[in-house]
Structure 1
Amino acid sequence: MQPLLIELGTDELPVKALPGLAQALFDGVLDGLARRGIAVERGDAKPLYTPRRLAVRLPGVATEQPEQRSEVPGPYLNVALDADGQPTRALLGFAQKAGVEWTALARTTDHKGERFVHRALRPGAPTATLLPEILREAIAAMPIPKPMRWGAHEHAFARPVHWLVMLLGDAVVEGEVLGRRSDRMSRGHRFLHDKPVWIGAPDDYVEALRAARVLADPDERRARIVAEVEAAARDAGGRARIAPDTLEQVNCLTEWPSAVRCAFEPEFLAVPQEALIATMEANQKFFPVLDAQGRLTAHFVGIANLESREVAEVRKGYERVIRPRFADAKFFFVEDLKQGLAAMNAGLAGVTYQARLGTVADKVARVALLAETIARAVGADPVLARRAAGLSKADLQSRLVGEFPELQGVAGRYYAMADASLADLAHEPRAAVAAALDEAYMPRYAGDAIAPSPLGRVLAIAERLDTLAGGFAAGLKPTGNKDPFALRRNALGLARTLLEGSLELDTGEALLQAAHLVHADIKAATAATPASREALRHELRQADYAPETRASADELYDFILDRLRGYYAEQGVPPQRFEAVAALRPASLLDFDRRLQAIGEFARLPEAEALAAANKRIRNILRKSEDTIPAQVDPALLSEPAERALAAAVDAAIAETDPLLAARDYVAALARLAQLRPQVDAFFDQVMVNVEAARVRGNRLALLARLADRLGSVAAIEHLSV
């Protein structure tokens, strides 16, 4: 075993693709070695990379393949030998091709009979002779959507390749890949050590590059960035905001990172800090500095790809590039404040939301109606909910959001706190309305929290209800990987807000109202004039729910359940438990969650499996029966002791579980129903259901129907039966 080093030196590689390219090369080399049977001691090896290089370093690789055994099947005996046992032309041809006498061939037997076979054993090839081809295969398999070509050859890679290091032990592996002959000469930092770097052996690689001002280990480089940024932020009297995405991109931009503490004019702090932070992180890859309360200070930290002797000049450069963007943000913010939310809102009538769904103003009107209804249902202020919903999209017309689209909602919060149209509200309700404009977009991404305030949750629900209903009505249902309106994300966001916010809302009724409003707007859009369109819209909204509206709401409910399957699966809920509750289609998702938790408790009881199997059997009996099952059980027709005992036990269980179900104490209800197991087992052991006497048979079916109805009152427990 000898250590292995492969390094591809290139022009600066794409920042966001760099970790994936490094991992793909690492995996490809390991796969190529494994397919050739070459033993590897991987240890804690990992991909090494910088903006200018991809490297694979393995602690131990066998210097040659093991012996290579081969077995080539030949003709069957009935074809290979004639009647006298002599070789036919088929056998002689096979032996000649194998390079041996036919008498040296072995025999084997398979399902068709006995046949000749040529077995051979040859020495394994030296690993060094196989490595160039292994590397070429690994490169060919790398995910490079747009390979570049350079020079007067046909080689292609993510970026032009300038050097290649291949070492097995302390020896250079001879070979050519991508037009580069291998040697042991790497390269140092482009500015701090612009000269070749001798690599004596793979184990020397990281240290040799470190001496040449290159940190080849991305984990070491990342740790240095964090340490330097945090130290610089402390020097500025604050703490650094280190966003994971910004950190990763800076890590892929530098080989020898060095922090530079910078500052900007405090007057820019009058601008929403989210805009300034977005500029620093997204555009310049700088790290903002916050105070103890999480507020932005007039400092930030830049990361240079060198240790400069003129740090002051580097600082001036960083401060200079950020100033114009800050000045633009300040100008947009001031101008937006002059305009006001009311003027912004008026402009929404001229902005198309979706061809069939009308303008953004139409969407806002629908969301406002939904928000008012939802607020009443969940105990929020319906007046404030409608008012907040009416302003929820105004900031889309702002200059600030035009420049920073990611600030939707955030900008609205700032404008609402300063807007004259909300002057009639005291500070607390105004702050609630302003916060709701921002929180309506939560959760913004996977793992984000739901809206923290009651009003924010109402708006988040109303917004997603309209988006889902509108998307389905407009024919924008997700297909495959396509989801232009992010309906999957909206469905999960809606469900999470209801569940994690503990909001008791009739989801089915809310979906009905949302679909009703959307269908009314779509139909009203066919009217000839604005006045007639508004009149028709009003008339349609007052009408009863149409069949297509109910069908759409049912489809939306199923769509939300599909998202919940994944949500609960991530929490470890078995799929059969989810399906047991989903079969009942509870109106409230919070009630759905309570039932799901209860069925989990029930599944742990020793009686659960037997009762689930019994309920499955009962459902099958009832489904197959062609009799008209009586609505009530006639005690006079109960003749067998086991059926009388079951009827009495069911009566008692129903009487005791009625108040539990009314109180939604599903755990206690299922625990009480589990006590029916002895009577159920005895009934099926001692009583025949499908007897000849029609009235007796019908009465027993009625008893089973009553039992099944109560056993399935919390969930369709038959789904728990394997």
Structure 2
Amino acid sequence: MSDLIIELGCEELPAASVEPMAQHLGAVLKAALQASDLCAGEPEIFATPRRIAARFTQVGERQPDTEVERRGPAKAAAFKDDKPTKALEGFMRSAGVTLEQLATIETPKGEWVVARQTQPGKSLTEVLLETLPEAIKTMPMPRRMRWGASPQEFLRPVVWLLAMHGESVLPLEVLGLKAGNQTLGHRFHAPDAITLASPSNYESALETAYVMADSVKRRARIVEQVKSVAATIGGTPVMDDELVDEVNALVEWPVALAGRFEANFLEIPKEALIQTMQENQRYFALLDDQGALMPAFITIANLESNDPETVVDGNERVIRPRFADTMFFWSQDKKQPLAAHQPQLSRLMFQEKLGSVADKVLRMEKLGGWLASELLMEAADVKLAVTLCKCDLNTEIVKELPKMQGICGRYYATRDGHPASVCEAMEQHYFPNKAGGPLPEGVVSQLVSLADKTDTLAGIFGLGMKPTGAKDPFGLRRASLGIVRILVEQKLDLDLNEILQQALDNYGERLQAPDREAMLAYVIERMRGYLVDKGYAADAIDAVLAKGLTRPLDIVARLEAMQQFRSSDAAASLAAASKRIGNILKKVETAVPDEVNKALLHEPAEAALYAEVDRVKPVITQHMQGRDYQASMRETASLRETVDAFFDGVMVMDENVELRDNRLALLRQVNELCCSTAELSLLQPAEVETATASSGQS
């Protein structure tokens, strides 16, 4: 058993492809080695812009031989007059055996002829000759290219192939390259070939050649260096994970260097400067103790320069013209107030059949005003925020840096002296702009965000453009989840059904017979997933949603009550009783009376149940009107003993029609009370029992 390493050396790979390609190589090799019983361990993955590699420990040189038993014809059909039949002769030819090498086995269907053979295992080389081309063929890459006169295809030209098992070179050939025991170091610091003694010294050999092949260790070094350099100049680096990952995939030998730029550029919104540094130059911006942007940055060089000042100077000269362009756009935009951009919104298309952005803003203004009235709040700031929230789309800086939309609006609105809540809404009405992202904080921002997302959802969905599979060009999934999160987490007691109807009404004749029910069901389904992610039991969610509720805040309140109820001793019994009552009532073909006739309550158990129902009904009704669902469920739980006693002592489907109908009426009232908060019959018995048992243990 020896170590194995496979390395593909390339011209510089795109940063986004480095890690996925290396992980794919390791995964495919691991699957093949495990399936061949050559290795059971996990691979070590190495990835740099110029190489992807996987190393395995304790890899066998050859598969173990296996005993194969091949079944032939039944013994009765294999011989005739003690001589082989044609069926047996055909089997011997196909198996490559003689008559003397055959045996028989007993089965439930009689004796059968078998050939037992030893199948030699494949060598490691044979396994890799089959696996490596397949790994390369299926490797994730955006496109493939050819180089030179070779017919081979890969993301970038492949320069070398390293394949070693222990101290031996494996005789492999892929992409027109024969495997060897040599790799290459850093392109500038150590360009000569490096001969490896064994796979175990792969990392150390490369490190002496200025290559950190382990991407995890290299990433850690980048983070450490950036923080260290930042500390020397009194700053805190802006270290987005995506930026760190990208920089990590661009270098083999990271060296952090600090540069500076003119302080007058700090007049520009810091978000624009940070975006320019990150996306255009892959620089790390620096913040001071107050969170303000410093006129400095950190770049990661891919070499240790003898003259680092020259490297820094080059980076400073590159960033200045970019900042100068941004400064020009900022200066141009300052020449007029944000509201001056409103007329141009009619030239920006929202959607061909739904009109311009200006049309969208008018609809949002109506919806925002209605939302404010539903919350009994003044609508003026909401309407003002709506009229301004898309204006920055026409500014020069947003045209140049699209991710600045909303952020620039906040700066411009603040400059123009608008109320703080309106300025905040310019940016935050786009929130949440990613999964789990922050929500709009103020109520004005929340209502503008709801108006924006609901208008988009209603319009696009109303055109029949429901998301399919992975395609969701207008972000309807994100919009739906955003609506739910804002209503629930910011505790806005609004009705989804009414919000959607208002949004649809605002479109007028632009939408022909939109399916509001399907739209509502789509949002409710997104809410169901959200609630599952929040830790609520799936059956409890279904039990509450079965009530046809459309106020998310109310739905969550009922779920909280259900969580408490199902931990009680009564939960399992009443859930079973509700299901039983539902099944009984489904089978009844005649009308069930609305009221219970006390004179027909002959059995003590039914009289007791009626008395208990009569006692708790007004209490539960009062709790439901006050949305005190936990108190309502506690009262519901008090019915357990009388319900159990009723089913133990009363024949519901009595031959006497009057008695039977009266008991059915009583049971219907019981079920209505039990299911005031949620449809208890949908609770799964196993989960209810588990919750009850857990409660008892605690």
Interval of TM-score (by shorter of Structure 1 and Structure 2):
over 0.9
Quote the offset at 1:145 in angstroms. 4.4
Q: Which residue number corresponds to residue 91 of structure 2?
A: 94
Asked whether the 8 Å contact 1:68–1:122 carries over to 2, the reply is yes
Q: Which residue number corresponds to residue 436 of structure 1?
A: 425
Alignment pair present for 1:56 and 2:19: no
Alignment pair present for 1:594 and 2:584: no
Quote the offset at 1:402 in angstroms. 0.9
Q: What is the TM-score of this pair, normalised by structure 2? A: 0.95
For 1:669, the aligned partner's letter is S
For 1:676, the aligned partner's letter is L
Alignment pair present for 1:473 and 2:462: yes
* 1:112-147 per-position Cα deviation (integer Å, ceiling 9, x unaligned): 654322221144343245333332232233223422
Inter-partner Cα distance in structure 2 for 1:645 and 1:296: 74
Equivalences for residues 295-444 of structure 1 within 5 A: 295-378=292-375, 380-419=377-416, 423=417, 430-444=419-433
Inter-partner Cα distance in structure 2 for 1:50 and 1:446: 30
Asked whether the 8 Å contact 1:91–1:102 carries over to 2, the reply is no
Quote the offset at 1:521 in angstroms. 4.9
For 1:660, the aligned partner's letter is H
Quote the offset at 1:179 in angstroms. 1.4
Inter-partner Cα distance in structure 2 for 1:71 and 1:394: 77
Inter-partner Cα distance in structure 2 for 1:267 and 1:418: 18
Higher mean alpha-carbon deviation, 552-561 vs 573-582, is at: 552-561
* 1:271-303 per-position Cα deviation (integer Å, ceiling 9, x unaligned): 111111111111111110011222211111111
Task: State the secondary structure of the residue aligned to 2:15.
Answer: coil
Asked whether the 8 Å contact 2:459–2:511 carries over to 1, the reply is no
Inter-partner Cα distance in structure 2 for 1:362 and 1:31: 56
Inter-partner Cα distance in structure 1 for 2:359 and 2:511: 10
Q: Which residue number corresponds to residue 580 of structure 1?
A: 543
Inter-partner Cα distance in structure 2 for 1:140 and 1:403: 39
Q: Which residue number corresponds to residue 684 of structure 1?
A: 647
For 1:615, the aligned partner's letter is S
Inter-partner Cα distance in structure 1 for 2:40 and 2:658: 77
For 1:308, the aligned partner's letter is S
Equivalences for residues 203-352 of structure 1 within 5 A: 203-352=200-349
Higher mean alpha-carbon deviation, 122-131 vs 395-404, is at: 122-131
| Pick aligned residue for 1:107 from 97, 104, 108 | 104
Inter-partner Cα distance in structure 2 for 1:35 and 1:451: 52
Percent of aligned pairs with the same amino acid:
41
Q: Mark the CA change 1:171 to 1:380 in structure 2 (over 3 Å): closer, same or farther.
A: farther
Higher mean alpha-carbon deviation, 562-571 vs 373-382, is at: 373-382
Inter-partner Cα distance in structure 2 for 1:684 and 1:290: 71
* 1:302-336 per-position Cα deviation (integer Å, ceiling 9, x unaligned): 11111111211111221122222211211112211
Alignment pair present for 1:117 and 2:80: no
- How many pairs were matched up? 685
Alignment pair present for 1:620 and 2:617: no
For 2:162, the aligned partner's letter is V
For 2:646, the aligned partner's letter is F
Higher mean alpha-carbon deviation, 168-177 vs 131-140, is at: 131-140
Higher mean alpha-carbon deviation, 319-328 vs 260-269, is at: 319-328
For 1:506, the aligned partner's letter is D
Task: State the secondary structure of the residue aligned to 1:356.
Answer: coil
Inter-partner Cα distance in structure 1 for 2:464 and 2:93: 68
Quote the offset at 1:697 in angstroms. 2.4
Asked whether the 8 Å contact 2:75–2:104 carries over to 1, the reply is no
Asked whether the 8 Å contact 2:65–2:118 carries over to 1, the reply is yes
For 2:158, the aligned partner's letter is V
Asked whether the 8 Å contact 1:2–1:62 carries over to 2, the reply is yes
Task: State the secondary structure of the residue aligned to 1:17.
Answer: helix
Asked whether the 8 Å contact 1:371–1:385 carries over to 2, the reply is yes
Q: Which residue number corresponds to residue 182 of structure 2?
A: 185
Q: Which residue number corresponds to residue 650 of structure 1?
A: 613
Alignment pair present for 1:662 and 2:625: yes
Q: What is the TM-score of this pair, normalised by structure 1? A: 0.92
Inter-partner Cα distance in structure 1 for 2:372 and 2:104: 83
* 1:425-454 per-position Cα deviation (integer Å, ceiling 9, x unaligned): 5xxxx1210111100000001121111222
Asked whether the 8 Å contact 2:194–2:205 carries over to 1, the reply is yes
Quote the offset at 1:706 in angstroms. 1.1
Q: Which residue number corresponds to residue 139 of structure 1?
A: 136
Q: Mark the CA change 1:41 to 1:577 in structure 2 (over 3 Å): closer, same or farther.
A: same
Q: Mark the CA change 1:117 to 1:145 in structure 2 (over 3 Å): closer, same or farther.
A: farther
Equivalences for residues 401-550 of structure 1 within 5 A: 401-419=398-416, 423=417, 430-522=419-511, 548=513
Quote the offset at 1:356 in angstroms. 2.1
Structure 2 unaligned residues grouped into runs of 5+: 686-698
Asked whether the 8 Å contact 1:473–1:519 carries over to 2, the reply is no
Quote the offset at 1:469 in angstroms. 0.9
Task: State the secondary structure of the residue aligned to 1:339.
Answer: coil
Higher mean alpha-carbon deviation, 296-305 vs 156-165, is at: 156-165
Structure 1 unaligned residues grouped into runs of 5+: 524-547
Give RMSD over aligned pairs. 1.8
* 1:347-390 per-position Cα deviation (integer Å, ceiling 9, x unaligned): 11222211221221111111112112222333654211111111
Task: State the secondary structure of the residue aligned to 1:299.
Answer: strand
Task: State the secondary structure of the residue aligned to 1:65.
Answer: coil
Q: Which residue number corresponds to residue 161 of structure 2?
A: 164
Q: Which residue number corresponds to residue 5 of structure 1?
A: 5
Equivalences for residues 551-570 of structure 1 within 5 A: 552-570=515-533
Q: Mark the CA change 1:351 to 1:41 in structure 2 (over 3 Å): closer, same or farther.
A: closer
Q: Mark the CA change 1:451 to 1:379 in structure 2 (over 3 Å): closer, same or farther.
A: farther
